[in-house]
Amino acid sequence: MKKSLHLLVTLILVTLSSTAFAQDFKGPNTLNVGIISGVFHGSFGIQGDYEIAQLGQDFTVGASAYYQGWSDSNFSYSSFGVGARFRWYADRVLNITDNKWDVFANGDVGFRINSSSGKGDVGNATAKSYNPLYLGIGIGGKYHINDQISIQAIIGSGAQLGVSFQL
Q: What does the domain layout of the chain look like in residue ranges?
A: 2-166
- Write down the pLDDT at residue 154: 95
- Write down the pLDDT at residue 18: 40
CB proximity list for 69: less than 8 A, separation 6 or greater: 43, 44, 45, 76, 77, 78, 79
- Write down the pLDDT at residue 21: 39
Q: Which positions of the chain have pLDDT values less than 70? A: 1-26, 39-41, 116-130
How does pLDDT run across 92-123, given as a tens digit for each residue? 889 988 889 999 999 999 999 887 665 544 44
- What separation in angstroms does the CA of 17 have from each of 23, 108, 136? 11, 30, 32
- Write down the pLDDT at residue 26: 65
How does pLDDT run across 53-65, given as a tens digit for each residue? 998 889 999 999 9
- Write down the pLDDT at residue 4: 53
Query: Global pTM?
Result: 0.74
The secondary structure element, H or E, covering residue 12 is: helix 2-20
CB proximity list for 157: less than 8 A, separation 6 or greater: 39, 40, 135, 136, 137, 138
The C-alpha atoms of residue 146 and residue 167 are separated, in whole angstroms, by: 13
- Fold assignment, 2-166: Porin (2.40.160)
- Write down the pLDDT at residue 123: 46
Query: Do 94 and 69 contact (CB within 8 A), yes or no?
Result: no
- What separation in angstroms does the CA of 58 have from each of 38, 104, 132? 27, 9, 30
